[in-house]
Amino acid sequence: MSSDSASAGTAPSRNKRAALYSPLYKQIKRLLLEGLRRGDWKPGAAIPSELELASRFQVSQGTVRKAIDELAAENLLVRRQGKGTYVATHLEPRSQYRFLRLLADDGQVPAAQSRFIECRRMRAPAEIAARLGLKASAGVVFIRRLLRFATAPVVLDDIWLPARLFRGLNFERLAAYTGPLYGLFESEFGVPMTRADERLRAVAADERSAELLQVPAGSPLLLVERVSYTYGDRPVEVRRGLCVTREHYYHNVLA
């Protein structure tokens, strides 16, 4: 078998490869993703070296490198010069606010403080169940929290999570936690958020949101509706954030 052929039991067969018309590095990427989904390597942990993976899958080191390059570009893996390659984690300081796109007017990433208002189990509204790929009226955990930047409340989040993935998540547990929320999800519940899809629109503050965000009722707010996904593009969070943009703006980079 050549060095660029995948071995039986560790990579797809030649017949399967022919059927899929998939380059070899894409197959290795799929195998690495399967390992991440199974929890072979936890968030923050190092994965085997390129040489070890090349030997395991019986492919060239260059093939493995190309697969890892794509996973790194998708923010699933992180290369550290001279140290190796690690599974991305929201507990890393540079990744804690990867999904938070609000910047202060001076361009700085604001330090956020969470205040949890509510956490309870409920039956999923139809729209939420559909977005999470759940059966109608499946159980979800509903969280409402307020994010403060400095001393001002800036974001009011409503969050829905599949209850079966977040057993034991309650208000007391949230209130006692001081790190990033996505860090809690991945470290204590084994659910890393790997990507998100967002929709934005302008809305007016109703009386409840105006009171919590300390703005007049009817004030303009930015509504950010997010669906977050874990490995395998499985939706695991629906989030609706109402944002005050008097001193902040939503920043995104289009490539």
Looking at residue 254, its pLDDT comes to 72
* Structural domains of the chain sorted by starting position, each given as residue range(s) with its CATH number in brackets: 14-87 (1.10.10.10), 93-250 (3.40.1410.10)
Entry pTM: 0.80
**Which residue in the block uniquely carries the two structure tokens 């998939």?**
22
54-113 per-position pLDDT tens digit: 999 999 999 999 999 999 888 889 898 888 999 988 776 565 557 777 888 888 777 788
Query: If you ran DSSP here, which 8-state letter would residue 67 be given?
Result: H
CB 68 within 8 A of CB 77: yes
Q: How many CA atoms lie within 13 A of 25 on its CB side?
A: 13
The sign of the dihedral angle between the CA atoms of 176, 180, 182, 187 is negative
**Which residue in the block uniquely carries the two structure tokens 């593009």?**
233
Q: Is the pLDDT of residue 20 over 60?
A: no
147-194 per-position pLDDT tens digit: 998 888 999 999 999 999 999 999 999 999 988 899 999 989 999 999
Looking at residue 143, its pLDDT comes to 98
Confidence of residue 19 (pLDDT cuts 50, 70, 90): very low
CA 75 to chain centre: 10
Single out the residue of 130, 68, 99, 102 nearest to residue 195, CA to CA. Answer: 99
Looking at residue 225, its pLDDT comes to 97
The span from the first CA to the last CA of the chain, in angstroms, equals 40
Count CB-CB contacts under 10 A for residue 10.
Answer: 12
193-222 per-position pLDDT tens digit: 999 999 999 999 999 999 999 999 999 999
Q: Is the pLDDT of residue 53 over 90?
A: yes
Structure tokens at 169: 């998540």
112-137 mean pLDDT: 94
Region of poorest pLDDT, from 78-92, 119-133, 138-152, 236-250:
78-92
Confidence of residue 2 (pLDDT cuts 50, 70, 90): very low
